[in-house]
Structure 1
Amino acid sequence: MRRADRLFHIIQLVRGRRLTTAAYLAQRLEVSERTIYRDIADLQHQGVPLEGEAGVGYRLGAGFDLPPMMFTQDEAKALVASVRMAQVWLDPAMAEAAQDALGKIMSVLPVEARVAAEALAVYAPSGGFSSTTQRTLQTLREAVQERRKVFINYRDLSDKPSERTLRPLGCFYWGKVWTLAAWCEQRNDFRTFRVDRVTYVRSLDDRFRDEPGRTFADYTRLTDSQSAERGWATAH
């Protein structure tokens, strides 16, 4: 990679993250941290407002931007492939937004990059989720974003029905199945639900706030701990 390209990529990587370390930049760009420190110093000398310091991390100061549509052909192809998959595996509102965003990007790409991206022979045939599951996913995703409780009717893997009031925390995609991580008010504990086994969902007016022991961070810590324990048990 030419040095000018590397400097451009440093700015792009830093502006896409809240705080970026030299170690992360060195790994992504396949150079030493010493090289990154020199590049950062040169960019700062040229007037790029990179704030931070070695050993802590860097961020891009306010008031600085670059033209957002400087995509390579491979990057444009990746966007097309991602949106084609989104049409099948995301909920309708998110899939439509992805398609609209791609249209805006494609309209300002150089002709060669646009033609190469549109000709990409990567497709995602229909047959992913049913329309009912997609609508359920959209309701749950929006409830997570708006921090609204939801009421669901659910059938577990044994086909046993139950009714739950949940604090939805996050939606997870596992390749063929979406699941919802939530705090279940009936069980007073974290639970995971397969979206395709939710037979009814209603977003409630009741909003929730983070409470110790019931947050998404608490859920991830718990699942990470359980995964580590299972791994230890398997190894021993």
Structure 2
Amino acid sequence: MRKASRLFEIIQILRLATRPVTAATIAGTLEVTVRSIYRDIAALQGMRVPIEGGRGIGYIMRPGFDLPPLMFSIEETEAIVLSLALLERTGDDELKEAARRVNQKIAGAIPAPLRQTLHSKALHAWGTIAPSPLGLDLALVRRAIRDEQKLMLDYRDEAGRATQRTIQPLALIYYSATAVVVAWCDLRQAMRNFRADRVENCGLSADYFRGEGDGLRDLWISGWRTSPPPGPPPSSTR
């Protein structure tokens, strides 16, 4: 997690807390070291964010500090609720957990009449829920896309042939059956689509393709005129 995102998350955790929260608890929630939390809290206090407490005691936000309010209409709130529900149908465990945190943050920031929309269970996203792929961490793929870092795959195609690929991941397409990674394949020297449920193993490469991602995505999109983006993949027969 980048430092700016982590500072925002710490503010949110303390803003919603009703009692002091220890650095260890915050570190466990954000999956970083306790030492990082101590440094982050010191940085926030240096920015005049009114955090009180200390090591071994816990931290709490002094009343009166808040982030700018989120002002959503009923229709906008319903759009968010349905979008978050759709995330539950993906096989991306990190995004599903993020959706639950978004729900909590919105509930803590909007007026009571709109908050009821979040808890009424009147809106549902129905259909097949994609299983989490066994050999591929979709969170790792999303981070590699953001950081423009290459990935190494052990991949098995629809005919069962196994290959090893080094790819430049550009986009993720979520379907009800599985997710598809759109990438430039160094082996084939072409754009390729890789089904997440056919990846047997995946790891980060030491190589990057920084500054090239946008151009490669433009190349992919320009190809839609002759070869449209992949439709829903057939059911896996693993």
> Does the 8 Å contact 1:152/1:198 carry over to 2?
yes
- Give the Cα separation in 2 of the matches to 1:215 and 1:125: 34
Unmatched segments (≥5 aa) in structure 1: 1-66, 229-236
Distance 2:176 2:133 in 1: 18
- Give the aligned CA root-mean-square deviation in angstroms: 2.9
Per the alignment, in what secondary structure is the counterpart of residue 163 of structure 1?
Answer: strand
Specify the SS of the correspondent of 2:137: helix
- TM-aligned CA distance change 1:209 to 1:109, over 3 Å: closer
2:139 counterpart residue number: 138
Counterpart in the other structure of 1:46: none
- In the alignment, the residues of structure 1 paired with residue 212 and residue 109 of structure 2 have an alpha-carbon distance, to the nearest angstrom, of 45
Higher relative contact order (CA 8 A, sep 6+): 2
CA shift for structure 1 position 136: 2.4
Is this contact kept in 2: 1:155–1:198, CA < 8 A? yes
Is 1:70 aligned to 2:71, yes or no? yes
Structure with the higher helix share, 1 or 2:
1
Q: What is the CA deviation profile of residues 14-69 of structure 1, one whole-angstrom value per residue up to 9, with x for unaligned ones?
A: xxxxxxxxxxxxxxxxxxxxxxxxxxxxxxxxxxxxxxxxxxxxxxxxxxxxx652
Match of residue 225 from structure 1: 226
8 Å contact kept, 2:184–2:190: yes
Greater Cα offset, 121-130 or 87-96: 121-130
Partner residue in 2 for 1:148: 149
- Aligned residue type for 1:223: W
1:171 is paired with a residue of what secondary structure?
strand
Counterpart for residue 112 of structure 1: 113
Q: CA deviation at 1:79?
A: 1.6
Q: Contact 2:150–2:168 at 8 Å: present in 1 too?
A: yes
Taking every aligned residue pair, what percent have the same amino acid on both sides?
A: 28
Question: Take 1:129 and 1:212, find their aligned partners in 2: how far apart are those partners?
Answer: 27
Residue 184 of structure 1 contacts residue 190 of structure 1 at CA under 8 Å; is this kept in 2? yes
1:173 aligned residue = 174
Name the CA distance, whole Å, in 2 between partners of 1:204 and 1:140: 12
Taking the aligned partners of 1:195 and 1:135, their CA distance within structure 2 comes to 6
Does the 8 Å CA contact 1:183/1:214 hold for their aligned counterparts?
Answer: no
CA distance in 1, matches of 2:100, 2:181: 24
Question: Do 2:170 and 2:213's aligned partners in 1 also have CA atoms closer than 8 Å?
Answer: no
Could you report, residue by residue, the CA deviation over 1:138-168 in whole angstroms, capped at 9, with x for unpaired residues?
Answer: 2211111111110101111122211101111
Question: TM-score of the superposition, structure 1-length normalised?
Answer: 0.60
Q: Is the contact made by 2:153 and 2:164 (CA closer than 8 Å) also made in structure 1?
A: yes
Mapping of residues 25-104 of structure 1, within 5 Å: 68-89=69-90, 91-104=92-105
3-state secondary structure, aligned to 2:98: helix
Matches of 1:122 and 1:158, distance apart in 2: 41
Between 1:98-107 and 1:179-188, the stretch displaced more is 98-107
Name the TM-score, length of structure 2 as normaliser. Answer: 0.60
* Contact 2:131 2:178 (8 Å CA) reproduced: no
Distance (Å, rounded) in 2 between the aligned partners of 1:124 and 1:194: 23
AA in 2 matched with 1:158: A
CA distance 1:129–1:90, shift in 2 (3 Å): closer
- Judging changes above 3 Å, is the alpha-carbon distance between structure 1 residues 206 and 156 closer, same or farther for their aligned structure 2 residues? same
Counterparts in 2 of 1:86 and 1:130: CA distance versus 1, 3 Å: same
Q: For structure 2, which runs of at least 5 residues remain unmatched after alignment?
A: 1-67, 230-238
The offset of 1:93, in angstroms, is: 2.0
Which has more radius of gyration?
Answer: 1
